[in-house]
Structure 1
Amino acid sequence: MLKHDVPASLVVFLVAVPLSLGIALASGAPPAAGLVAAVVGGVVAGALGGSVVQVSGPAAGLSLVVAELVDTYGWRATCGITLMAGVVQLLLGGLRVARAALGVSPAVVHGMLAGVGAVIALSQLHIVLGGTPQRSALENIVELPGQIARNHSHAVMAGTLTIAVLMAWSRIPRLKVVPAPLAALVVATVVATLLGWDLTRVDLGAGFSGLQGPLLPKGDWHAIAGAVLLVALLAGVESLLTCVASNRLHDGPRADLDRELTAQGAANLVSGALGGLPVAGVVVRTTTNVRAGARSRWSAVLHGVWVLLFTAAFAWMIALIPLEALAALLLFIGVQMVNLAHVRNLRGHREVPVYVVTMGGVVFIGLAEGVAIGLGLAALLALRRLAWVSVDVRDTGEGRRRVAVTGSLTFLGVPRLTEALAAVPPGAGVELDLHLDFMDNAAFEALHAWRLEHERGGGAVDVDEVHGDWYAAGVSGARMFPARIPPRHERWWLPWAYRRTARPPLPAGGHDAAVHPDVPMPDLLHGTREFQRRTAPLVRPLLHRMARGQTPSHLFVTCADSRIVPNIITASGPGDLFTVRNVGNFVPRAPSAPPDDSVAAAVEYAVTVLGVRTITVCGHSGCGAMAALLGEVPDLPALRSWLRHGRQSLARFVAHPGDEDDAGPLDRLCRVNVIQQLDNLRTYPFVDALVRSGDLELAGLYFDIGAARVHLLDRERFTPVPELSGG
């Protein structure tokens, strides 16, 4: 494992050092504080975390918060806030609420990061130009033209060189072994030193030993508590989202989010106590870690060790780095944080407004305010979607209209509903399809009043509810529970007699049975209309592809009994089964007299032309044909002739009557009959040859109608088909 993790840790270490220094610069913290956070994020969060590949450290997304805290309370008090935020994260991890953080809209998170990136880029651009960042993004924008107009040759050249290396480095495959941030800082430092540029250098001071411990912040405790919660939540959410994203990057153990949140809390507690920046899971370092071949958490831990050793032994090298080069690195990172790929992903879900508003709020108002505005807008859009309803009215010909109402029908949708229903001509027949997951009282009353009025005017309204009996419950006064129920997406298999339409009570003096609420859908024509309306649009693309030919895998021989529906008991669809149905699921023997060409032709065509690989004979309990064999055959000449093909089954049953504790004689004969039909199939030479060669399999099934259970049959066993475990 270490042969993969050690090289990966070195790559991540080379990325972490320049980024940690740059984030400390953007946060207004001592440079060593960024390195402390990198060490603690690697060692503590890496060892205790819930992901085996996530790398934690100082995060650019928190730099604005830290900068405001440093400006308000001072650096040591900010360390105290970081420590307290770690305690809050520990408590949240102990309460196992980590998954609740995933309920935050990604549009808000990405908008927040984009806003932070824009603010970082604007502020660091002034440093690259040799100036000083202003207090707000708006002021930075206002001051930018004047800053550009001034002559800052050395600073501009150092920043331009750094950005040029960053952009070119990743495009040269052979150079990718060295991380681009490290290469850019090395090149800028070497060139600036050789040319003697007048630049500001990183002041590492006394290294780690120069850092001081945390202090309790002074001021309004309400504001301090808010700051602690803000750091804890922002760092926690960013860490958990990175943790979830890391699951898609590797095939190892899945991340434990509660453990990760607890580990982040421990890391922030330690980092704050040692004078470091807040710690969070970082996407850039995590992605680098996985791409470098990391297999376990040892890579993250070792990268922290390398940062510690490097800072202790080579602090003098860090002091050579120009601040303008670090600012250019941060400028480059800030621009990359405005990720247009996220905008494209959000566009399909109509969440771009949340992203834009959050980003704008962070840039022009503040981080906390921008996030709050984004969350509010996301909540409003979610409520709007929950209350969304579509009303579609179509002319189906012959003076009829089809009205489809889809979504959540609340008082907010009543104006749209009444406007659409007003377009239905008086006296027209209406098929009202309600695809609803909720209906409140105001919507029910509007719909019910329209229906009564329409029927008084001579029209007829057939109501069909697909996702729950909301309208029927309103008519009867029953209470729907739960408030939302899953759609009845499998109701197609119900017999016609079990499908009922919800209708209002008869008007005074009414006598038309067609409006009685217990009248079932009675005929085949109604079923075909339902197929055309509801099922055909779903299966049309599939059937269009199958229109030129069929390739079934099974020949399925079963009884003509109306209670046996092969596609239900086998969970198969169009194109799966080539089906033969007859009374008693008989396969007449090849030399039978009189011969039966129908079944023989189906077997022959299925095997030789369609190339099926399995022939299944399926019998069932309570078979009327078997009952006729045991008792008096009805005086029906054709049926009497056909039942001759069951004589071998009856003889086999008599020879082996079964145990006394076995099922009754009728069901035993039903099972014996299946075994006999499998033997009858072997009387066809082409079938027998394929079975002997292993190219064709014969199988027997028995369907217990009362238990709705399928059994496997052969000469020795009678085995229920096991149910699938899990969801």
Structure 2
Amino acid sequence: MPRTAFALEGIVTTQLEDKSQRRTGRLPKAPHFGADLAASLVVFLVAVPLCVGVAAASGVPVELGIITGIVGGLVVGLLPGSSLQVSGPAAGLTVLVASAVSQHGLGMLGVIVLGAGVVQILLGVSRLGTWFRAISPSVVQGMLAGIGLVLILGQIYPVGGLAQPDTTAEKFGGLGELATAMVTTPQGLAGLGLGVAALLIMTGWKKFAPAPLNLVPGPLIAVVLTSALAALVALPVQKIEVGSLLSSLNPPALTDFGAVNAAILGSILTFALIASAESLFSAAAVDRMHDGPKTRYNKELVAQGAGNAVCGVFGALPMTAVIVRSSANVQAGAKTKLSRILHGFWLLLFVVLLPGLLAFIPTAVLAALLIQAGWKLLELKAVAKLVREHRSEGFVLVLTAVTIVATDLLIGTLTGLAAAVIKMAIEVSRLSVNAKHADDHVHVELGGNATFLRLPRLLDHLENLPQHKHVHLDLSTVRHLDRACHQAVDNWVAEHRRNNGSVEVAMPAKVG
């Protein structure tokens, strides 16, 4: 074969391999091991304090958060769907988990998470994953803002050394007592100092740390420094309680499945929908950060469901794809899914070999980490911009967030979705009515969509037309005429003619 033919064959083969890798998301044969290894260590360092903090905020043993992180790496990391997105326990689900544990007990957590995983798998197999992309961005942003507000409102209590109240009303009502405790009690003063120090370190680390050191995650630096300070000075603060990983496993018993009722089924559905939405919205954001294979939404939903099913079997926390860990993975230079798999392995190795280190972390520091996570979920600049530029979208966002804070996550999200649908219906059903008056006739032309939502406006125009003039009612350019408006026009025409009026009507080609 000529040399040119060999060269062309090599080019074609390389292009086919590259296309196959982009399409499948499988690990490429190119040597990216070094980059993925380094990225996995960064993600691991980010994940450790967040796994522990989310578990503590959810009111469950901290080991269950680590287990979920391990499953997110070793199970979801191996499955197809997304290549660089990292899964684990998410701050956005702490409100749901805490509520579910409070209502149904820790023993039912495994049943709920397992059921949610099965629902996610069914949604993915049914190819419904892409439909999550159709949810109004204002509802999503409102949901995240509401979660952020609830998270901040709850986590300021551990900073002051007090237990977190159960309800939103109690959290607001206890703010006075919390403020007093923060400035009068030794535990409150110490917790406030550590929390503020942790927030300052996390905020300023990336900006002020020298170039080689700023690659280390700010949350890890904050946890290490404040925990060391608390230990050296012997500050009177509460620390994380750590037990054996195996003894913390909380697998559901067969009798737990027999106790499933309507409330638990509602929790299962809520977990599945919220976790799916958060994972797929995160996937859309992560895909914009890199040039590698893009997420296949249905496969990613199946992978998330499989991970939650495994977490349910262990009785651990639910998981989602987490934007903080995922962005850290991309920014650290990850090339393939090997980085997220290895991060799960490092979590497992850490909790097996060095679990005692977690016992040095004050709960006030973990609360500060989650307060920062809640603040990021608020995205106040984006909210202000949306309210300023699109008031109706801003209204949906604020309504969703406020309802979540006032009630719960499910009711708030459903309220936001309903408001978005109503807003869309009103905007879509725009109807223009133009009347041109002559000496002996009136030409009325309608345009847009004539639906029942615009029926009052349509009838006002028709009923104000003069009886003594011939009316030419032109509906030929109306894109949609629903049954309510069609019937109203027919009734008006009949009434106008009974009153000796003259009417000529041009109807649209298609009537809804």
TM-score by shorter chain over 0.5: yes
Structure 2 residue aligned with 1:516: none
Q: Say which of 409, 413, 416 aligns to 2:450.
A: 409
Deviations 1:408-463 (A, max 9, x none): 20243233124345667775997957543210244345557778969x99999896
Is 1:33 paired with 2:67? no
Give, in whole Å, the separation in 2 of the partners of 1:37 and 1:111: 26
Is residue 205 of structure 1 aligned with residue 247 of structure 2?
no
Q: 2-side partners of 1:220 and 1:272: how far apart? A: 14
2:460 alignment partner in structure 1: 419
In 2: Cα distance, 1:362 partner to 1:321 partner: 31
Report the counterpart of residue 3 of structure 2 in structure 1: none
Superposition deviation, residue 139 in structure 1: 0.9
1:17 aligns with 2:48: yes
Q: 1:371, CA displacement in angstroms?
A: 2.2
Instruction: Give, in whole Å, the separation in 1 of the partners of 2:104 and 2:487.
Output: 59
TM-score after normalising by structure 1: 0.59
CA distance 1:96–1:442, shift in 2 (3 Å): closer
Q: Which has the higher helix share?
A: 2
1:211-233 CA deviation, whole Å, 9 max, x = no partner? 34233266452222222222122
Match of 1:293 in 2: 333
Q: Aligned in 2, Cα 1:401/1:338: closer, same or farther, shift over 3 Å? A: farther
Counterparts of 1:19 and 1:266, CA distance in 2? 22
Alignment of 1:202-351 (within 5 A): 202-215=240-253, 216=256, 219=259, 221-343=261-383, 344-345=385-386, 348=390, 350-351=392-393
Q: Secondary structure at the match of 1:171?
A: helix
Match of 1:138 among 128, 148, 169: 169
1:106 matched to 2:137? The reply is: yes
Structure 1 unaligned runs (5+)?
464-470, 474-478, 484-727
SS at match of 1:319: helix
Alignment of 1:198-597 (within 5 A): 198-215=236-253, 216=256, 219=259, 221-343=261-383, 344-345=385-386, 348=390, 350-393=392-435, 405-420=446-461, 432=474, 435-444=477-486, 446-447=488-489, 471-473=507-509, 480=511, 483=512
State the 1:269 CA deviation: 1.4
Equivalents in 1 of 2:441, 2:69: separation in Å? Answer: 71
Structure 2 vs 1, CA of residues 439 and 431 (structure 1 numbering), >3 Å: closer, same or farther? closer
* 1:520-577 Cα shifts (integer Å, max 9, x gaps): xxxxxxxxxxxxxxxxxxxxxxxxxxxxxxxxxxxxxxxxxxxxxxxxxxxxxxxxxx
SS of the residue corresponding to residue 360 of structure 2 reads: coil
Query: Alpha-carbon deviation of 1:235?
Result: 1.1
Q: Secondary structure at the match of 2:226?
A: helix
Shift of 1:91: 2.3
Deviation of 1:207 (Å)? 3.5
In the superposition, relative to structure 1, how do residues 349 and 136 fare at CA in structure 2: closer, same or farther (>3 Å)? same
Whether the 8 Å contact between 1:402 and 1:433 is mirrored in structure 2 is no
Deviation (angstroms), 1:179 = 1.2
Per the TM alignment, residue 384 of structure 1 is displaced from its structure 2 partner at its CA by: 2.9
Secondary structure of the residue aligned to 2:368 is helix
Does 1:195 pair with 2:233?
Answer: yes
The structural deviation recorded for 1:374 is 2.4
Distance 2:440 2:338 in 1: 74
- Partner residue in 2 for 1:65: 96
Q: Name the CA shift for 1:413/1:180 in 2 (closer, same or farther; >3 Å).
A: same
Q: Secondary structure at the match of 2:174?
A: helix
TM-score by length of 2: 0.82
Q: Is 1:172 equivalent to 2:242 in the alignment?
A: no
Contact 2:64/2:248 (<8 A) preserved:
no
Q: CA deviation at 1:106?
A: 3.0
Cα pair 1:387 1:408 within 8 Å, conserved: yes
Q: Give the Cα separation in 2 of the matches to 1:442 and 1:269.
A: 48
CA distance in 2 between counterparts of 1:46 and 1:401 reads 69
Q: Deviations over 1:244-290 (max 9, x none)?
A: 22222222222111111111111111122223211111122222222
State the shift of 1:400 in Å.
9.8
Distance 1:121 1:290 in 2: 27
Deviation string, structure 1 residues 284-340 (Cα, Å, up to 9, x no partner): 222222222222211211111121122222212221111111011111211221123
Matches within 5 A, 1:639-650: none
- 2:117 equivalent in structure 1: 86
For 2:158, the equivalent position in structure 1 comes to 127
Tell me how far apart the structure 2 counterparts of residues 449 and 71 of structure 1 sit (CA, whole Å): 58
1:87–1:443 CA distance, 2 compared to 1 (3 A): closer
CA–CA separation in structure 2 for the residues paired with 1:438 and 1:353: 28
> Partners of 1:369 and 1:450 in 2: how far apart?
42
Give the Cα separation in 1 of the matches to 2:505 and 2:454.
Answer: 21
2:191 to 133, 141, 155: 155
**Residues in 2 aligned to 1:42 and 1:324: alpha-carbon distance in whole angstroms:** 27
Q: Residues 326 and 386 of structure 1: is their aligned pair in 2 closer, same or farther, counting only changes over 3 Å?
A: same
Does residue 186 (structure 1) correspond to residue 224 (structure 2)? The answer is yes
Q: How does 1:587-666 map to 2 (within 5 A)?
A: none
2:418 counterpart letter in structure 1 = G
Listed as ranges, the gaps of 5+ residues in structure 2 are 1-31
| CA distance in 1: counterparts of 2:156 and 2:227, whole angstroms | 18
Distance 1:58 1:440 in 2: 48
Question: Structure 1 pair 58/416, CA: closer, same or farther in 2 (3 Å)?
Answer: same
Q: Which amino acid aligns with 2:399?
A: V
User: How many Å separate the matches in 2 of 1:47 and 1:252?
Assistant: 17
CA gap of 1:317–1:444, structure 2 versus 1, over 3 A, is: same
Match of 2:25 in 1: none
* Residues 1:72 and 1:433: Cα distance change in structure 2 (over 3 Å): closer
Opposite residue 214 of structure 2, the aligned amino acid is K
CA 1:350–1:399 in structure 2 vs 1: closer, same or farther (change >3 Å)?
farther
Map Cα deviations across residues 23-58 of structure 1 (whole Å, 9 max, x no partner): 101111111111111111112112114111111110
Give the aligned partner of residue 503 of structure 1.
none
SS of residue paired to 2:432: strand
**Is the CA contact 1:78–1:217 (under 8 Å) kept in the aligned structure 2?**
no
How many residues were matched structurally?
Answer: 467
1:392–1:420 Cα contact (<8 Å) kept: no
The answer for the alignment partner of 1:50 in structure 2 is 81
For the structure 1 residues 63 and 419, does the alpha-carbon distance in structure 2 shift closer, same or farther, using more than 3 Å as the test?
same
- Indicate if the aligned counterparts of 1:264 and 1:279 stay in contact, CA closer than 8 A: yes
SS in 2 for 1:206: coil
On the 8 A contact 1:170/1:180 being kept in 2, the answer is yes
Contact 2:426 2:453 in 1 (8 A): no
Whole-angstrom CA distance in 1 between matches of 2:366 and 2:153:
14
* SS of alignment partner, residue 406 of structure 1: strand
| Deviation for aligned residue 1:117 | 1.5
Letter in 2 for 1:176: N
What residue identity is the alignment partner of 1:352? G
The equivalent of 2:24 in structure 1 is none
- Assess, with a 3 A threshold, how the Cα gap between structure 1 residues 155 and 449 changes in structure 2: closer, same or farther: closer
Q: In the aligned structure 2, how far is the partner of 1:21 from the partner of 1:65?
A: 17
Using CA pairs under 8 Å that are at least 6 residues apart, name the structure with larger relative contact order, 1 or 2: 2
SS of the residue corresponding to residue 408 of structure 1 reads: strand
1:264 and 1:313 mapped to 2: Cα distance?
28
Q: Where do residues 666-677 of structure 1 align in structure 2 (5 Å cutoff)?
A: none
Instruction: Read off the aligned partner of 1:413 and give its amino acid letter.
Output: R
CA RMSD of aligned residues (A): 3.0
Alpha-carbon deviation of 1:181?
1.1
Counterpart-to-counterpart distance in 2, 1:318 and 1:2: 29
Percent sequence identity is 36
